[in-house]
């Protein structure tokens, strides 16, 4: 493998890792509980 191929592979791996981190953050249980708590609080105020 030459330098260009290694750079392309590293860039692709970095994008996959970033996407995985975003998905993990978005679907985390703690975050979901926090979002749901705010939603139900707003509904209870009505």
C-alpha gyration radius of the chain = 19
Verdict on whether the full-model pTM lies above 0.75 = no
Decide if 20 contacts 27 (C-beta within 8 A).
no
**pLDDT for the residue 17:** 98
Measured CA distances, 22 to 2, 26, 28, 40, 41 (Å): 31, 6, 10, 25, 26
Cα separation of 19 and 38, whole Å?
A: 26
Q: Encode the chain (46 residues) as per-residue pLDDT tens digits.
A: 899 999 999 999 999 999 999 999 988 888 877 878 877 888 887 6
């Amino acid at each position: 493998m030459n330098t260009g191929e290694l750079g392309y592979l590293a860039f692709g791996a970095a994008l996959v890792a970033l996407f995985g981190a975003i998905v993990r953050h978005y679907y985390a249980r703690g975050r979901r509980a926090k979002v749901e708590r705010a939603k139900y609080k707003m509904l209870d105020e009505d």
